[in-house]
Amino acid sequence: MNRSWEGRAVLVTGAGGFIGSHLVQRLVHQGAAVRAFVRYTSRGDIGLLRMLTSEELALLTIESGDLRDAGAVSRAVEGMEIVFHLGASISIPYSYRHPVEVVETNVLGTLNVLLACKEQGIGRLVHVSSSEVYGTAREVPISENHALQGQSPYAATKIGADKLAESFTCAFGLPVVTIRPFNTYGPRQSARAVIPTIITQALAQGTVRLGRLDPSRDFTFVSDTVRGLECGAQAEGVEGMTFNLGTGTYIAVGELAQKIIGMIGRPVKIVVDPTRQRPEKSEVLRLVSDNRLAFERLAWQPNVELEDGLYQTVRWVADHLEEYRVGEFAF
């Protein structure tokens, strides 16, 4: 545990995303030789890696491709010691509209990563799952042994990816560790997620439009999630295991909105907007983690309290409001 990252060859898929860009930045600062895999676009878009400094970008290698392309994935994995697999299509509403694309990216894409890691004998694959695989809690807090429930097409794809990862450990001895973050938030997150949605509207408008106010979530600050991924890569004797990363506390969306509005300090009305609601049977009502296994086997625990994390996020969004299409329902 806590082995130095200096000079170690590390691949991060989904490197241009919210959590991925923070992970890349942290690994670069610790001296890792990072290869960042981002989805190719004709614009040469590197996603949120654009938020890194020119000095940080100069210290990593960026490789473009598509997780659905086995050859591109194999080339990205070549020569790596550790692989962090964060690449995925993550929007739940988008998965209702485009389930084929989401299945191909999340399931076939994960299979391509697993095959490449197996063929090239990587030292460890950290496969990033989602707390959405649990669906609405049958018991609280949710442990890693909770039933898996595909309450949305997105959740079903993550369950499928998790089971593929499990099978490659059981069948081929691939050293995989699966990490399930619970509602990560923080600077750079898009308004697809509830906290930036609330913040951007509260900063720029007199109303905050939300779907339902009653679902409760376990919010984990991005620096804690990134540290948990590192622990998953370095802990000994945990191959084949799955770990929840969450705080073990929860807050309802309506209460969260009131808290954020109070921090911003201006009168803002909360409005329930039916067009932002998920289909009733697919809405996950309670997500709160049991993080004891991560504490015991990864020596991980969250450090950032919700109040502090929200303040940091509010400040960042306020300074980057031009990055957001305020009030637009993001898929």
**For residue 1, is pLDDT > 60?**
no
Percent of the chain whose pLDDT exceeds 90: 85
Name the band, by pLDDT with cuts 50, 70 and 90, for residue 282.
low
Name the band, by pLDDT with cuts 50, 70 and 90, for residue 328.
low
248-257 average pLDDT score: 95
Q: What is the DSSP string of 41-80?
A: -TT---GGGGGS-HHHHHTSEEEEE-TT-HHHHHHHHTT-
Which CATH superfamily is 9-181+222-247+288-303 part of? NAD(P)-binding Rossmann-like Domain (3.40.50.720)
> How is the chain split into domains, by residue range?
9-181+222-247+288-303
Kindly report the pTM of this predicted structure.
0.94
